[in-house]
Amino acid sequence: MLNIKKNDLVVVLSGKDKGKKGKVLDVLHKQKQVIVQQINIITKHIKPKKSKGQVNGKICTTEAAIHVSKVMIICPHCKESFRIKYNISKDSRKRIRACRVCGAII
């Protein structure tokens, strides 16, 4: 199970985009990877295809996946990066994500 979910704000810990912040667009659970907005940008060459109406080829840029161990979540309240702490709610017995720094529920 991954601690990071879609729409979380994260900071990159290592690699070419170290220190950059972005929002999580997608989580790939089986590969243990996340796709972060404007992080790990790659260039793709797309071939021309006559059958699908796209006559010309093109070069486009897109975000590639990054391993979940290379990112850390940022608390929306105290604006610091932290490891997630889980609290168990008494009434529904569900795990609730909380900040280790300020204790705020995410």
Q: Which domains does the chain have, with CATH numbers?
A: 9-99 (2.30.30.30)
Question: Please, which residues bridge with residue 1 across strands?
Answer: none
Per-residue model confidence as pLDDT tens digits over 71-84: 999 999 999 999 89
User: Does 56 score more than 90 pLDDT?
Assistant: no
Helix (H, G, I), strand (E, B) or coil at 26: strand
Tokens 């260039």 belong to residue: 43
Helix (H, G, I), strand (E, B) or coil at 35: strand
Q: What is the mean pLDDT of the chain?
A: 91
